[in-house]
Structure 1
């Protein structure tokens, strides 16, 4: 087997399944974010055939060729009788409805030492930590990006001088599949000031101001919680804002300052929760509309693109509206002829 990359040189390695074909199939489910649990016969661990999973440990998953393809971290371990495993757990394995899961596991255990409904199995929950080089091609094939469409509200134009008051994010796939929402209000920073013009505008929006400032929490508490939420979602995550230079700038600054991560990904050694450079919804909407630059603008889009959700300056309302816009723009994008070419000289 190829040498394990740092920092996993001493990690335990294993493969899902008992054949190269099944290895690849189950690995694909893990990389797609559809498989976040597995179970194995307790006897195999007791006999030393496999290392017992331990919560908090990170193991390397091998592909069908025996190459290190991914890293997972065990979240929980529980021993149950096979016939006591509930659909709430089997669903996490991502291998189909409960009846299918049961039939396939009965067949698997039968050909690997015998099956009994009373047999003890080790039920493990895990999360994907990293995709390694040997798993990248499969990951790009099976993973469905989740777009974290985010709107922020602030007491001024720049995070260098002012404070972010609230933000909300909608996690959605390009086809409209919803994966959840996150909303928070933030206390103003003592090392920042308010902008007079911005505060005068807020005085004209009392309902939005109340929603923006109610139950505020410290950014040092909120931003790590948001980063954990993003990481808990399956597949690669992409940040989306309208425009990126405003909402994205605020979120990048606050994530960097309070959670040790960024809106952007890149050759950084810090925690990376997003993939790529993100999407500026303002730019995407302008180009896909085929409009000249001076006619760009989110207000130029028809109301149905927003799902008829009013832009209220409450972060969650605005994020939901922008999420609808993103899905509509992807419909336009998919209808365009693809552009292919030789490998770019860009490095």
Structure 2
């Protein structure tokens, strides 16, 4: 296989010490469950594999020795084996601490010897790109985390107005909840509230109070939010209802204050989300089989929201939309699959 030019000189390796183990550990990486690894310090150095370095991008091979994915090193520490804590071993994704320890003691014993005080290189990384040889396995094991988000603002556009608050729910397609994030923001001094929007807020005193209590600077909140998104394993997908409103606000604020985007694409720099995101408004309309003029979130049954009222408090609305996403994915999975050829779109 010909590697993309940017990886032509990258270090290539397989996890483990057998084709079977290489494939097993690769599956954990592709699923997002494995974001750390460790190796004996004695195996690094002149004439051997170089020590990992933060920011370096390496090629992981599958059990057949084919380049399957690209990982980027996020952190490197050298520790005694007995000093490695469960906080790190959990990121290896290979079971609880007892299982991890038993497996690694056996691995080191058969690859040069084991001792509790041996020095170990502990590396954390992120999955950067799946290469063609890894795509079939990736499609089998990957389970993206959906970041379902609602925002509140003092006007219709981030070009002229301010975002007041937002909340996100991190959830899998099966409803597994991974976490929540909410924040209130200071209004921007270079923006002006919209009179019509503010008149509407006058009719929502309870929601206004929730939206404006204990605000923080966007320059503080948005980097913290980006770190929160990246803390989850595997790919994250942004979800909003509709994308053109909530997604537009979040994209603008992330771009302005955190150097990243709601969208992914051929951009340089940090990308915390995968793909173009999901518009629940569009998804709900199409999966209901409704004509376009009858699309709308209010057309969905209350049980789709988990009977969570739409209160205009960002966290309430994000939770309701997260339940909607799970229900819509159920509808989507019940449909007959449609596939195309690689030449359909370029």
Structure 2 length as normaliser, TM-score? 0.89
Q: How far does residue 178 in structure 1 lie from its aligned partner after superposition?
A: 1.4
Name the structure 1 match of 2:232.
233
**Cα separation, partners in 2 of 1:80 and 1:131, compared to 1, 3 Å:** same
In structure 1, stretches of 5+ residues that fail to align are: none
Structure 1 stretch displaced more, 131-140 or 227-236: 131-140
In structure 2, stretches of 5+ residues that fail to align are: none
Q: 3-state DSSP class of the match of 1:169?
A: strand
Q: 3-state DSSP class of the match of 1:31?
A: helix
Distance in 1 (alpha carbons) for counterparts of 2:232 and 2:312: 26
Q: Note the aligned Cα RMSD (angstroms).
A: 2.5
Alpha carbons 1:63, 1:134 under 8 Å: kept:
no
Name the structure 2 match of 1:150.
149
Structure 2 residue 156 is the aligned partner of structure 1 residue 193: no
Name the structure 1 match of 2:216.
217
Name the structure 2 match of 1:139.
138
How many pairs does the alignment contain?
343
Name the structure 1 match of 2:107.
108
The Cα offsets for residues 83-131 of structure 1, whole Å up to 9 and x where unpaired, read as x544443222111233432332232112211234x24242524131511
**Cα separation, partners in 2 of 1:157 and 1:343, compared to 1, 3 Å:** same
**Cα separation, partners in 2 of 1:17 and 1:309, compared to 1, 3 Å:** same
Distance in 1 (alpha carbons) for counterparts of 2:117 and 2:66: 29
Counterparts of 1:201-212 in structure 2 under 5 Å? 201-212=200-211
Q: How far does residue 232 in structure 1 lie from its aligned partner after superposition?
A: 2.2
Distance in 2 (alpha carbons) for counterparts of 1:142 and 1:324: 23
Name the structure 2 match of 1:81.
81
Q: 3-state DSSP class of the match of 1:256?
A: helix
Q: How far does residue 48 in structure 1 lie from its aligned partner after superposition?
A: 6.3
**Cα separation, partners in 2 of 1:4 and 1:293, compared to 1, 3 Å:** closer
Q: 3-state DSSP class of the match of 2:210?
A: helix
Q: 3-state DSSP class of the match of 1:193?
A: coil
Name the structure 1 match of 2:179.
180
Q: 3-state DSSP class of the match of 2:37?
A: strand
**Cα separation, partners in 2 of 1:57 and 1:293, compared to 1, 3 Å:** closer
**Cα separation, partners in 2 of 1:213 and 1:89, compared to 1, 3 Å:** same
Counterparts of 1:1-347 in structure 2 under 5 Å? 5-6=5-6, 12-45=11-44, 49-54=48-53, 56-64=54-62, 65=65, 67=67, 69-82=69-82, 85-116=84-115, 118-122=116-120, 124-128=122-126, 130-131=128-129, 133=131, 136-137=134-135, 138-343=137-342, 345-347=344-346
**Cα separation, partners in 2 of 1:292 and 1:4, compared to 1, 3 Å:** closer
Structure 1 stretch displaced more, 20-29 or 38-47: 38-47
**Cα separation, partners in 2 of 1:48 and 1:181, compared to 1, 3 Å:** farther
Structure 1 length as normaliser, TM-score? 0.89
Q: 3-state DSSP class of the match of 2:266?
A: coil
